[in-house]
A and B are shown apart, each in its own frame.
Chain A
């Protein structure tokens, strides 16, 4: 992404002076802005909705990879008639609340339900969202925990399955010794 000084398509929409404007190798426009607090998101969201922006996606992540209960960042990507604006807000461990944008962007619903479920982030301005993906028996905030790759891929499992098979199956002695 190349920083550019050409006319920014984002200037007229967002009053912030520190919107960074870049282009890619095809000349497509990208805007980047860091908001100081989650509260500023609601004002920005309202303004973007008034200008006909479309919410593309919302991403949550830990500022320190694999940290648990540390500082987080929320990233909102909006489409403005072909240009992409990326709006970031900080989320602290002491206050994991972010304002909902469903009043301005109806398609924020699934995104908000997803990050509330996977990262245990609380949404303000809407009813408690229903879980989107995972079985209710799985704790919320599961993405904040380090799950070893081998466990995730079921490579590391208990011996219960094979012990059951061995117990219920007649097999030659050499096979029993091999277990």
Chain B
């Protein structure tokens, strides 16, 4: 049988962002894969060294759009860890709310694109219609549909009054039924199941070996979630389940994302119920001392880690972040081994790749 190579990307209809895959094919079957990055490398870590600690909140929020709250939030946590800043109790809950609305919208976007990739466009449009309720929440509460600008060093920049709380509760209630219906469709619809079950398998042992994170790891049975293992903000006060699946395929990863989106609604409601009154920022902030710190959060795509080194000036000596997608690319070699050409976009989408995050 003839063997040849086909290029996928860097600009390709199946890719939302630029990445280059050279795929070795034997007939219709994938036999080899080479991944080339670098098409949107912007040198943002270097930029971070030339901006002060406050300016870097704005910079990190612009790393990417779908997980744009996770970056400034984790960055602020790293600064707070270094300077020993305790954030007010109310701000802890408000940070969870901003994180979870972004998780809900991000996960829905991914499973929506999955429906589009398998040719189920009416489902894709329905998912995006449901997602509009989440987008309305972002626009209504934060004034923006993507970058929320919710975080600041020591707390948050927004608050919720009675009117906004009422709006939020109504929107969250409206999301519940369509979310349950969507979950049942992805779980039971024969077309979705036929195209996603048994595709792009990543066995648990390979997931551990490659150190994958987030829904990719949890879809392979690894019950690891930073919100549970190393809680931050108010997650230690809230009730949620670490979602896992064991089939380790495209379908498993989609089901984990959908259940986490449903959990996000519950987490936001718990925040509204339990959030104490009080300030959202401390009265004053200390100088940032020399030293180093680490902070982690569970972004929609998995563990996000920030390392901060300070020389005592108003700008970081080094700021490094490792995004979840960075850890998940190599798993494609396992997932795509011996898959069919038609499954390539489906499998790539199943790791929910964020290329602008990866390349910084």
Contact = CB atoms under 8 A, between A and B. Distances in A.
Interface in B294-327: 294-296, 303, 305, 307, 309, 311, 317-318, 320, 322, 326-327
Contact of A77 (B38, B87, B307, B309): B307
Nearest to B359: A133
Nearest to A55: B211
Contacts of A155: none
Interface residues of B, number: 42
A123 interface: no
Nearest to B291: A1
B230 interface: yes
B46 A81 contact: no
A35 interface: no
Interface stretch (A11-19, A23-31, A91-99, A158-166): A23-31
A134 B231 CA distance: 36
B211 A54 contact: yes
A106 B210 contact: yes
A110 B231 CA distance: 27
Would you call the interface of chain B mostly helix, strand, loop, or mixed? mixed
Contacts of B293: 1
Interface stretch (A36-44, A56-64, A170-178): A56-64
Contacts of B84: 1-2
B327 A107 contact: yes
Contact of A82 (B37, B230, B320): B230
Nearest to B229: A82
B85 to A, nearest CB: 8
Contact of B318 (A32, A55, A57, A59): A59
A147 B231 contact: no
B232 interface: yes
Contacts of B317: 61, 65
B37 A132 contact: yes
Contacts of A77: 294, 305, 307
A15 to B, nearest CB: 22
Interface string A58-91: 0101000110000000010101011110100000
A75 B326 contact: no
B174 interface: no
Instruction: Indicate the member of B84, B303, B307 with the most A CB atoms within 10 Å.
Output: B307
B330 interface: yes
Nearest to B306: A57
B43 interface: yes
A82 B229 CA distance: 5
A1 B46 contact: no
A132 B38 contact: yes
B86 interface: yes
A8 to B, nearest CB: 16
Interface residues of A, number: 39
B328 to A, nearest CB: 10
A120 interface: no
A131 to B, nearest CB: 8
B209 interface: yes
A135 interface: yes
A2 B305 CA distance: 19
A122 interface: no
Which among A109, A111, A132, A153 has the highest number of chain B CB atoms within 10 Å?
A: A132
Interface string B323-340: 000110110000000000
Nearest to B38: A133
B82 interface: yes
A152 interface: yes
Given A28-B231, A106-B210, A75 B292 contact: yes
B305 A56 contact: yes
A2 B330 CA distance: 36
Interface string B78-96: 0011101011000000000
A26 B38 contact: no
Contacts of A86: 292, 294, 307
Given A56-B305, A132-B37, A132-B38, A24 B292 contact: no
A152 B38 contact: no
A65 B49 contact: yes
In order of increasing CB-CB distance, the 5 nearest A-B pairs are: A57-B322, A107-B211, A61-B318, A82-B229, A59-B320
Interface of A: 1-2, 24-26, 28, 30, 32, 54-57, 59, 61, 65-66, 75, 77, 79, 81-84, 86, 105-107, 109-111, 132-135, 143, 147, 149, 152-153
10 contacts: A24-B81, A25-B81, A25-B86, A26-B236, A65-B318, A84-B305, A107-B327, A133-B41, A135-B38, A152-B47
